[in-house]
Amino acid sequence: MKNVVEVQPNDGKLAILIPGLGAVATTLIAGVDAILAGRNAPVGSYAEMGHLPTADGERVRVKEAVPLASLEDVVFGGWDIYEGNAYQAARRAKVLSNEDLSACQEALERVKPMPAVFDHEYVKNIDGPNVKSAKSKWDLAESIVADIKGFMDANGCDRAVGVWCASTERYIEPGPVHQTVSAFENGLKENHPDISPAMIYAYAFVKSGVPLANGAPNLALDIPAIVEFAKREGVAIAGKDFKTGQTLMKTMISPGLAARMIGVEGWYSTNILGNTDGAVLDDPGSFKTKEVSKLSVIESILEPELYPELYGNITHRVRIDYYPPRGDNKEGWDNIDIFGWMNYPMQIKINFLCRDSILAAPVALDLALFMDLAQRAGMSGVQDWLSFYFKSPQRNGDVMPPHDLFKQQEDLFVTLREISSRSSVKAPKIASAS
């Protein structure tokens, strides 16, 4: 049964708190500044630009259908292992042109990273000086809790929301320490090696009553301990791994092939990227985490169990190669071997010259806005209606959320309509140029 409680209003300031003030986060901050200044529209943000089809076919601006936080009320903060402010981080990230960075310099310089929880065992290929030290993981979690409270107080924020934008941690199998809240809390106190930094952040956010979305493929929000804790504390969580380049394309094209009963014999995907994410993924442990996140997409959409002749024997390969010349401009090349009538083979090749952070930033923004909305709407635990934004959407209970982008969109619509029906306060100040 859906909750009939009224949605809380979007009054007051909202802190968007980001573990990992790197390429994605600084691009997000710069873009919000540009939108507020009227320099460009919030391109890529469904929450800011999109429409919601009502049950009777009308189209209403999302911002008029549900009470989202206004961008004017947002204050950005976060943690990072590097010390420089967000302007310095953005220059290092080389996502934006110097001209665009200059225009946003003031807004970026305001954001200074708090010292991060970091463990080199979980992310091999980077290191930095701005790191917390404490005698236990429990103390690290408490330090994050204090950071959140301190930031909100200092900035006069009524609410906060978190979006994980830090690097991909190495793959680990969930173990006993991840199964219950109490086992996990003991593990924090005993410095259990299977508790990764991302999990420490996750625990601290939930403990602070602050919803959190996970933009990377780590399992921090998937482990039973955190899911249970979030439900108990009434906190919304959602993951995982921003769906941006190649996987986004896969979830557009696979449903189309399936709709037409076109067979698939093989799908070969290679990615080249030269940013920190690429360097991190050059470590086999981190790549494993990513690969697991990427491989299941096609199979879930094509349903080989229903169509064994069409999809029962697919060779699916995914490669990610660190290639510095590409910088933050990720490039994907996909070769899809399909077959049609009388089994005749055909080929589709897709070369996607994309930009990692440019695609991820509006996803991070939408997640922040919708997670804040969900929290105000009294929705706790896994927000599987936000699968639209994730490469590897987290399940809520037994039902697997879809990978098909269009089914995900429908799920998004359904929930937004439901929230809309419970909202009396609507129509925030419209800050964007759109």
Instruction: Output the furthest CA–CA distance in the chain (Å, rounded).
Output: 68
Smallest distance from a copy of itself to CB 304, Å: 13
| Residue 333 interacting with a copy of itself (CB under 8 A) | yes
Smallest distance from a copy of itself to CB 49, Å: 5
* Per-residue mark of binding to a copy of itself, 283-322 (x: CB under 8 A): -----------------------xx-xx----x-x-x-x-
Smallest distance from a copy of itself to CB 41, Å: 4
Round to whole Å and give the CA distance between 389 and 408.
9
Nearest residue (CB) to a copy of itself, 135 versus 260 = 260
Residues 82-101 within binding reach of a copy of itself (CB under 8 A): 96-100
Q: Which of 292, 288, 284, 431 is nearest to 365 (CA)?
A: 431
| Residue 409 interacting with a copy of itself (CB under 8 A) | yes
Select from 11, 83, 194, 265 the one that contacts a copy of itself (CB under 8 A): 265
Given the rule CB under 8 A, which of 76-84, 184-192, 206-214, 257-265 is the region that contacts a copy of itself?
Answer: 257-265
| Residue 359 interacting with a copy of itself (CB under 8 A) | yes
| Residue 343 interacting with a copy of itself (CB under 8 A) | yes
Nearest residue (CB) to a copy of itself, 192 versus 417 = 417
- Site for a copy of itself (CB under 8 A): how many residues? 82
Select from 19, 20, 22, 50 the one that contacts a copy of itself (CB under 8 A): 50
| Residue 346 interacting with a copy of itself (CB under 8 A) | yes
- Residue 84 backbone dihedrals phi, psi, to 5 degrees: -60, 160
Residues 220-239 within binding reach of a copy of itself (CB under 8 A): none
| Residue 397 interacting with a copy of itself (CB under 8 A) | no
Given the rule CB under 8 A, which of 2-10, 29-37, 148-156, 283-291 is the region that contacts a copy of itself?
Answer: 29-37
Residues 157-196 within binding reach of a copy of itself (CB under 8 A): none
Cis peptide before 240 (omega within 30 of 0): yes
Select from 112, 234, 406, 425 the one that contacts a copy of itself (CB under 8 A): 406
Amino acid (1-letter code) at residue 222: D
Select from 183, 292, 295, 350 the one that contacts a copy of itself (CB under 8 A): 350
| Residue 64 interacting with a copy of itself (CB under 8 A) | no
Select from 21, 25, 29, 34 the one that contacts a copy of itself (CB under 8 A): 34
| Residue 41 interacting with a copy of itself (CB under 8 A) | yes
Select from 8, 125, 191, 270 the one that contacts a copy of itself (CB under 8 A): 270
Smallest distance from a copy of itself to CB 407, Å: 9
| Residue 349 interacting with a copy of itself (CB under 8 A) | yes
Select from 90, 226, 361, 416 the one that contacts a copy of itself (CB under 8 A): 361
Select from 172, 248, 302, 367 the one that contacts a copy of itself (CB under 8 A): 248
Smallest distance from a copy of itself to CB 153, Å: 31
HEC readout, the chain: CCCCCCCCCCCCEEEEEEECCCHHHHHHHHHHHHHHCCCCCCCCCHHHHCEEECCCCCEEEHHHHCCCCCHHHEEEEEEECCCCCHHHHHHHHCCCCHHHHHHHHHHHHCCCCEEECCCCCCCCCCCCCCECCCCCHHHHHHHHHHHHHHHHHHHCEEEEEEEECCCCCCCCCCCHHHCCHHHHHHHHHCCCCCCCHHHHHHHHHHHCCCCEEECCCCCCCCCHHHHHHHHHHCCEEEECCECCCHHHHHHHHHHHHHHCCCEEEEEEEEEEECCHHHHHHCCHHHHHHHHHHHHHHHHHHHCCCCCHHHHCCCEEEEEEEECHHHCCCCEEEEEEEEECHHHCEEEEEEEEECCHHHHHHHHHHHHHHHHHHHHHCCCCEECHHHHHHECCCCCECCECCCCCHHHHHHHHHHHHHHHHHCCCCCCCCCCCCC
Smallest distance from a copy of itself to CB 195, Å: 34
Nearest residue (CB) to a copy of itself, 17 versus 35 = 35
Smallest distance from a copy of itself to CB 84, Å: 21
Total length of the chain: 434
Nearest residue (CB) to a copy of itself, 209 versus 324 = 324
Give the CA count within 13 Å in the CB-facing half-sphere of 331: 11
Q: At what angle do helices 98-109 and 23-36 cross, to 10 degrees?
A: 90
